[in-house]
């Protein structure tokens, strides 16, 4: 017998509204992708500025890794869960717009930081602002697209990860080259400003205006419950998670380990090329930014298209299966990147590895939208993002730095730190995602039963 909260209602369930016109739905994805691009520019720009920030703030690799990852990730993840609950019952576009303004201000604030602790506080603020974006964006997209196109739509949105990261590196490299040989600029009110500080103004301030674009996005009707937006009781949400714990554990930790590898690499690959191959920051910034933008974008869209193709042919676990396959496919090219003494071979293999390591980041959130009732999608997305970002952004860069500082105790051994951290992460990820295939299908069946009981 189902509990009282799951008994069929006496009134017939309202008919589902039609999906919005495809052209407008893709416009919404385009706007959300642009916002995501700016979030990743603001999030990732520190990766190319390790040298000058370490010099001016007098900090170690490990302290720098806390700026890049942990300070951002802790606040991003802590605020993500209450924000996800807000996304399940309130205005999703308003939530995103407010967050965009906040993280843009905090990014620009990094440009006025004079001490390590000031920089740490501004990075925490960036994390709070960006916590508003993806839970609300995933929920919006799931109400704009039918299930058979959802993985592709979320993968297109998720291109913002790689376009933004690529632009951050290209922009950083270009500014570093432009600023070469110049110690500082004198700006009104602010006084002497270092080149790396200027970059934070350039990437942060445009977001204050671009946030207005969110008000061209209409809130679609919420599906699966007649368009109602009342929040499901929190106890019921946790009960549902408890029934499906195997799925969520294998899914969230499995994909989080790919994120762990991805963020650990993206934070330190520019520095690896500087230390091991003698490249300048400007050179690797432009090269690495181009690799990430092109190979990452192709990989994430290919992953979504493959999952949708597999779902159309009856593979209900396609979103999990794609993640498992690409984790295995990454291993050979990913290891060559750090073992090769030829920088151009390393770059070529980096492009292949980037293609594979980016593919899961569209299918992973799509899997959450598939397996969760609509009334819980924002909260489920927030919990997924909590684990992915705490493990990925919060621990990935620091794991590499700790291995360099305390295992090898030699800056020139960074390549082996990257090799160990990324390889172990992908092996564990593939195993967890494989273990989650059957539980995922069972969870899809439980969702159908949950929805049927509420009609």
Query: pLDDT tens across 186-207, in order?
Result: 666 666 677 778 888 888 899 9
User: What value does the mean pLDDT take over residues 97-106?
Assistant: 94
- Regarding predicted confidence, which is higher, 197 or 98? 98
* Encoded tokens for 329: 């496919």
Label residue 179 by pLDDT band (50, 70, 90): low
* Encoded tokens for 182: 């110049």
Give the C-alpha separation, 124 to 126, whole Å. Answer: 5
User: Given this model, what pLDDT does residue 101 score?
Assistant: 95
User: Given this model, what pLDDT does residue 44 score?
Assistant: 74
Who's near 341: CB < 8 A, 6+ residues apart? none
User: What value does the mean pLDDT take over residues 232-257?
Assistant: 87
User: What value does the mean pLDDT take over residues 417-433?
Assistant: 97
Give the C-alpha separation, 357 to 339, whole Å. Answer: 18
User: Given this model, what pLDDT does residue 178 score?
Assistant: 65
- With the C-alpha atoms ordered 323, 324, 329, 335, is the resulting torsion angle positive or negative? positive
Give the C-alpha separation, 125 to 146, whole Å. Answer: 35
Please determine, for residue 209, whether its predicted confidence score (pLDDT) is greater than 70: yes
Q: What percentage of the chain exceeds 70 in pLDDT?
A: 90
* Encoded tokens for 388: 């992915």
Each domain of the chain, given as residue ranges in start order, spans 19-222+237-454
- CATH fold of 19-222+237-454 reads Growth Hormone; Chain: A; (1.20.1250)
Please determine, for residue 174, whether its predicted confidence score (pLDDT) is greater than 70: yes
Q: At 185, is the secondary structure helix, strand, or coil?
A: strand
Q: How many helices (H) and strands (E) does the chain have?
A: 21, 2
Give the C-alpha separation, 273 to 338, whole Å. Answer: 10
* CA angle, 357 then 359 then 361, to 5°: 95
| pLDDT tens figures, 118-157 | 999 999 999 899 988 988 898 899 889 887 788 888 888 9
Which conformational region is residue 430 in: left (phi greater than 0), alpha (psi within -120 to 50 degrees), or beta?
alpha
User: Given this model, what pLDDT does residue 231 score?
Assistant: 60
Give the C-alpha separation, 57 to 450, whole Å. Answer: 54
User: Given this model, what pLDDT does residue 441 score?
Assistant: 93
Report the predicted TM-score, pTM, of the whole model to 2 decimal places.
0.74
Q: What percentage of the chain exceeds 90 in pLDDT?
A: 39
- Which string of DSSP letters, residue by residue, matches 101-164? HHHHHHHHHHTT--SHHHHHHHHHHHHHHHTTHHHHHHHHHHHHS-HHHHHHHHHHHHHHHHHH
User: What value does the mean pLDDT take over residues 316-345?
Assistant: 96
Label residue 232 by pLDDT band (50, 70, 90): low
CA distances from 135 to 28, 60, 87, 148, 251 (A): 15, 34, 7, 20, 16
Out of 58-67, 89-98, 179-188, 370-379, pick the least confident: 179-188
Q: At 62, is the secondary structure helix, strand, or coil?
A: helix
Please determine, for residue 12, whether its predicted confidence score (pLDDT) is greater than 60: no
């Amino acid at each position: 017998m189902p509990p009282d909260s799951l008994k069929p209602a006496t009134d017939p369930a309202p008919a589902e509204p039609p999906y919005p016109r495809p052209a407008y739905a893709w416009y919404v994805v385009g706007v959300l992708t642009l916002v995501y691009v700016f979030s990743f520019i603001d999030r990732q720009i520190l990766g190319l500025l390790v040298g000058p920030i370490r010099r001016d703030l007098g900090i170690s690799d490990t302290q720098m890794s806390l700026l890049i990852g942990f300070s951002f990730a802790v606040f991003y993840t802590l605020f993500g869960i209450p924000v996800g609950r807000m996304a399940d019952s309130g205005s999703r576009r308003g939530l995103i717009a407010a967050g965009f303004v906040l993280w843009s201000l905090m990014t620009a604030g990094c440009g006025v930081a004079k001490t390590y602790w000031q920089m740490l506080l501004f990075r925490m603020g960036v994390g709070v602002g960006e916590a508003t974006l993806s839970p609300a964006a995933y929920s919006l997209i799931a109400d704009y697209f039918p299930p058979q196109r959802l993985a592709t739509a979320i993968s297109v949105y998720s291109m913002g990860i790689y376009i933004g990261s690529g632009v951050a590196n290209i922009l950083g490299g270009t500014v570093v080259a432009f600023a070469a040989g110049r110690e500082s600029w004198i700006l009104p009110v602010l006084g002497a400003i270092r080149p790396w500080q200027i970059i934070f103004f350039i990437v942060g301030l445009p977001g204050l205006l671009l946030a207005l674009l969110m008000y061209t996005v209409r809130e679609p009707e919420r599906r699966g419950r007649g368009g109602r937006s009342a929040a499901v009781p929190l106890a019921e949400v946790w009960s549902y998670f408890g029934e499906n714990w195997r799925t969520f554990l294998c899914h969230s930790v499995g994909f989080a380990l790919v994120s762990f590898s991805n963020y650990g690499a993206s934070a330190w690959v520019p520095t690896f090329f500087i230390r091991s191959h003698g490249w300048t920051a400007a050179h690797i910034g432009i090269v690495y930014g181009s690799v990430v933008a092109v190979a990452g974008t192709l990989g994430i869209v290919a992953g979504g298209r493959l999952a949708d193709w597999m779902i159309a042919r009856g593979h209900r676990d396609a979103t999990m299966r794609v993640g498992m396959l690409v984790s295995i496919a990454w291993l050979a090219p990913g290891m060559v990147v750090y073992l090769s003494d030829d920088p151009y071979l390393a770059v070529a293999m980096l492009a292949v590895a980037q293609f594979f390591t980016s593919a899961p980041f569209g299918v992973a959130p799509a899997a959450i939208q598939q397996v969760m009732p609509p009334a819980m999608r924002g909260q489920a997305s927030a919990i997924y993002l909590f684990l992915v970002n705490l493990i990925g952004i919060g621990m990935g860069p620091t794991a590499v730095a700790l291995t360099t500082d305390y295992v090898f105790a030699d800056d020139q051994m960074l390549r082996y730190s990257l090799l160990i951290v990324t390889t172990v992460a992908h092996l564990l990820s593939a195993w967890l995602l494989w273990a989650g295939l059957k539980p995922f299908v069972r969870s899809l069946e439980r969702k159908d039963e949950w929805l049927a009981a509420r009609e």
